[in-house]
Amino acid sequence: MTRSTSILDEIVAAKKRELEAVRQQFPQESLLDAIPDETPPAFDTALRSDGLNIIAEVKYRSPSRGPFPCQLEPVEVARQYRDSGAVALSVLTEKTYFAGEPAYLKDIRREFSDLPLLRKDFLFEPYQVIESRAWGASAILAIVACVERSQLASLLSSAEEFQLGVLVEVHDPWELEIAIGEGASIIGVNNRNLNDFRIDLATSFDIARRLEGEDGYLLISESGLSERAQLLELRQAGFSGFLIGSHFMNNQKPGEVLRELLGGETGGN
């Protein structure tokens, strides 16, 4: 599949350059030594409730929208999310385009040992899987649009070795086929086109229809979600969880927005 040069290409290229520098500063052996003895909280377990399972995202800017109004400290954002009913958190660690930091993930893990945490970044290789485990992640993101098929296979294999879940993100049926072919079990459907940033919730419903009747998959809808009615309709279509960031971070009190969206439900109940 071919596509024109886009902001996605730019982000991926920048991340690969950054990775080379980071690898020199932090050799893989040092990361292995930093891996905690404790197994992180299971990401998939948090998504198996019958409720509206929200993965609330800690992010401070995006390429399409710039900085978000909420600039509270990451631990405070995480506390509001946890207290308001999020079953897991997604934490941006990409620095240049999303104003993320590895320290955000580390700090939140130190404060909340029992909260499943997804490392949200652009990952390509096992070194980054080891990074994620050392930093306290429960799961990593693997974006099919950003990796070769062999790289996806390697990420999945390494994540299993290091006891991490993998949210494999797709945008269309072609990417879904790749994800399933490589053994992905947690499928994230991004309603945002990563090339032009347009949002279309039909993307989620289309992928759900293609997996209708299939067992063994957890479906997560991502991007463009801001209304309870959307979540209820998507849950009816087969989605187990919803990754939401912008809607919450657009407010100075993201926890209150989450509580309103859940309509009184907490903890996935």
Is 20 among the catalytic positions? no
- Which member of 131, 175, 182, 222 is catalytic? 222
d(CA 117, CA 124): 19
Read out DSSP for 29-82?
A: HHHHHH--SSPPPPTTGGG-SSS--EEEEE-SEETTTEE-S----HHHHHHHHH
Is 223 catalytic? The answer is yes
Of 84, 158, 223, 240, which is the active-site residue? 223
Could you give the angle at the alpha carbon of 44 between the alpha carbons of 137 and 56, nearest 5°?
A: 65
Q: How far apart (Å, rounded) are the C-alpha atoms in residues 154 and 160?
A: 10
Catalytic residue of the set 84, 120, 131, 175: 120
Let me know if 59 is a catalytic residue.
Answer: yes
Q: Please confirm, yes or no, whether 101 is among the known catalytic residues.
A: no
Q: How far apart are CA 92 and CA 120, in angstroms?
A: 5
CA distance 160 to 162: 5
Which one of the listed residues 15, 53, 57, 240 is annotated catalytic?
Answer: 57
- The rounded distance, in Å, linking the Cα atoms of 180 and 46 is 21
For the chain, give percent helix, strand, coil, nearest 5.
Answer: 45, 15, 40
57 catalytic residue (yes or no): yes
Residue tagged active-site, from 94, 131, 169, 182: 169
Q: Is 73 one of the annotated active-site residues of the chain?
A: no
- Contacts from 147-150 at CB under 8 Å and sequence distance 24+? 147/123, 149/178, 149/181, 149/182
Instruction: Single out the catalytic residue among 84, 190, 221, 240.
Output: 190
Active site residue 111: no
Three-state DSSP at 222 gives: strand
Asked if 105 and 137 touch (Cβ cutoff 8 Å), the reply is: yes
Question: ∠ at Cα 155 (93, 125), nearest 5°?
Answer: 65
Active site residues: 57, 59, 120, 169, 190, 222-223
